[in-house]
Amino acid sequence: MGQHDFKSGVNLGGWISQYRAYSMEHFDTFITEQDVAQIAKWGMDHIRLPVDYPVIMHDGAEGAEGWNEEGLSYIDKCLDWATKYGLGVVLDLHKAPGYSFGTLDKNNLFTDVRMQERFCQIWQMFANRYRSEGEYLQFELLNEVVDQDSTRWNRLAHRAIAAIRGADHGRAIIYGGNYYNSIDELKEIELVPNDDRIIYTFHMYKPILFTHQKAPWVPVLHAYNQTVEYPGEAVGIQEFIDSNPDIRDNHMKEYIPEYMDKSLMEKYLQPAADFIAQTGKPLYCGEYGVINRTPADSRNRWHKDVTDLFKQMNIGSAVWSYKEMSFGLVDASGQVVDEELVRILTSKQ
């Protein structure tokens, strides 16, 4: 399995990242070998494995004592399962020392030299630990960066890549842009020269108005509290915004009425097409999906249009997410929520 061969995958969110509880009981049961076997049986070719740094690193400890072997063993087991069932793995650092996409006001990764050193140390450790693994394993530097602009992130990403290359010259490395891996920020990524093993990435949740409808963590949509169909448009959204002048959001432009269909999705994906045309570099969509509060037929139609466009553009992707997490393909007991959705996501047509 080569560096550009990952086509259809799924995230293992909620396991060793964004976990409901930091406990061995959770880590031992939330994802098991049977889950990985099921993903392979569906016909997917890879998993994206989000990891939060507290699982693998002890705060305040240095050297070998700084690594949490108990936590690292879950990555090791996942790699063993993936190899057994013929799946690729994207090892994604979801939460780093000094950085989490969910606590932007507390982050200091881009201002604290020590945090930056620890970030690079993590990747150096991964490069050494997994140097003997084959091309089925790829490294993703950091999930959903948000900073004032792309300058500091580009600088740190290049440092981390150099740290990895010091131990592993051939590993495929995935590198995303600013503002939650926005597709519109691909143009701000500083390409890595003379390295054909870098894959660039973005996330696709547009339009937020549809994909995150009624989401409690998006206050304006939670307050709007209306069902939005796809294809279709949001009924009364302009009136809602006009009657709530106190609502201000970075995604407000996505709440303005516009007919949502495949042509709109093509418009949203145009920056990816431009990036490929201008750079000749491979692209990967590490996350996309629709919240489970959405009508099933509309959810399936959106996924069908997006996956069709990814195939046309030769963009590999991993849907968010395998289990629960408000976007899950299976429920808490591991039962498939919607067989038609799984068929859409794994279709080879």
Catalytically active residues are 144, 287
**Token pair of 36, please?**
């990985």
CA distance 282 to 269: 14
User: Are 316 and 7 within 8 A, CB to CB?
Assistant: yes
Q: Write b or e for each residue in 178-189: b if 16 or more Cβ atoms lie within 10 A of its Cβ, otherwise e.
A: bbbbbbebbeeb
CA distance 324 to 337: 10
Residue recorded with tokens 């206050």: 219
Secondary structure E strands in the chain: 8-11, 46-52, 88-95, 137-140, 173-176, 198-204, 283-288, 316-319
CA distance 271 to 266: 10
Which amino acid, one-letter code, is at 206? K
CA distances, 67 to each of 23, 62, 168, 181 (Å): 17, 8, 20, 28
Which amino acid, one-letter code, is at 115? M
Angle between helices 270-279 and 296-313 (to 10 degrees): 10
User: Are 56 and 71 within 8 A, CB to CB?
Assistant: yes
CA distance 283 to 235: 35
Sign of the torsion angle spanned by Cα atoms 179, 183, 188, 191: positive
Sequence-ordered list of residues with C-beta below 8 angstroms from that of 217, at least 6 positions apart, any chain: none
